[in-house]
A = this chain, B = another copy of it.
Amino acid sequence: MSTRARGRAADEIRPVTITTNYTRHAEGSVLVEFGHTKVLCTATVETGVPRFLKGKGQGWVTAEYGMLPRSTHSRMQREAAKGKQGGRTMEIQRLIARSLRAAVDLKALGEHTITVDCDVIQADGGTRTAAITGACVALANALQWMREKGVIAANPLKTLVAAVSVGIVDGLAVTDLEYTEDAAAETDMNVVMTAEGKMIEVQGTAEGEPFSHEELLAMLALARQSIDELVEHQRRAIAG
């Protein structure tokens, strides 16, 4: 792939928009856009914790993920109608939840549960990484709301986390894959990092050919750079 769509450079992420207060009811509500990929992330604060944490003096952060049936090129069956969430959905919502928990001091959260719903309005590749990036902002807003309401004293947010998908396409490492690139990639890797550039999750998958150590390093370097940029977007969105 000598040139990417719309002349994007290999290390260039798509235009990013993070709109806070997107809907009215949630304690945190963010529409995140990575190019044509649009995900609505809402954070809900509830008193109490799941049973396995009762009485441990800590809180919990969890996440759910869904795609609107026609967020994609062809319509997908509605999971509520099928009667179960697919493996991909479960895998993604577990990833989002782990990533968010890495950013939060659960002790400082007290016995509260924050659920972040990430619903894909429009998909064009990278929905899980956009979701993590937006969800972290919705979470930050919800924690801010808790402090304003006096529910918690200190801010449990230890850092920001953001995510990007990188891959090897036509032998070249590129960042923030859009749908057509994702479909063509030999390797696809989702990386979640903190604002400090430390790693939370690294999930690399050889779609076609196995990848080499050098390719891995190239992808990680791209991810680091892109996540730095995404964290800037997050900071501006939170600052409002």
- A interface residues with partner B (beta carbon < 8 Å): 23-26, 29, 36, 38, 40, 42, 44, 46, 64, 66, 68-75, 78-91, 93-94, 98, 102, 115, 117, 119, 121-124, 189, 193-194, 196, 198-206, 209-213, 216, 220
| Complex Cα–Cα for A202 and B40 (A) | 29
* C-alpha spacing A117/B66, complex, angstroms: 14
Number of copies of this chain in the oligomer? 6
A77 to B115, CA, bound (A): 11
Q: Who on chain B is nearest to A31 by CB?
A: B121
Contact B199 A102 (CB under 8 A): no
| A74 vs B209: C-alpha distance when bound (angstroms) | 33
- Cβ-defined partner of A203 (8 Å) among B102, B194, B203: B203
Pairwise interchain contact B117-A78, C-beta atoms closer than 8 A: yes
B72 touches A81 (CB 8 A): no
* CB atoms of B210 and A23 under 8 A apart: no
Interface centre among A36, A42, A72 (most CB of B within 10 A): A42
Q: What are 19 A-to-B residue pairs whose CB atoms are below 8 Å?
A: A24-B124, A25-B71, A25-B72, A40-B121, A42-B68, A42-B69, A44-B70, A64-B69, A78-B80, A80-B84, A90-B90, A98-B205, A102-B206, A198-B206, A198-B209, A199-B204, A199-B210, A201-B204, A201-B206
> Inside 8 A of A46's CB, which chain B residues have their CB?
75
CA distance A2 to B189 in the complex (A): 34
Chain B hits for A194, CB < 8 A: 210
A59 to B178, CA, bound (A): 28
A121's partner among B23, B90, B93, B123 (CB-CB below 8 A) is B23
CA of A171 to CA of B44 in the docked complex: distance in angstroms?
35
Task: Please name all residues of chain B whose beta carbon is closer than 8 Å to the beta carbon of A200 when the two chains form the complex.
Answer: 205-206, 210
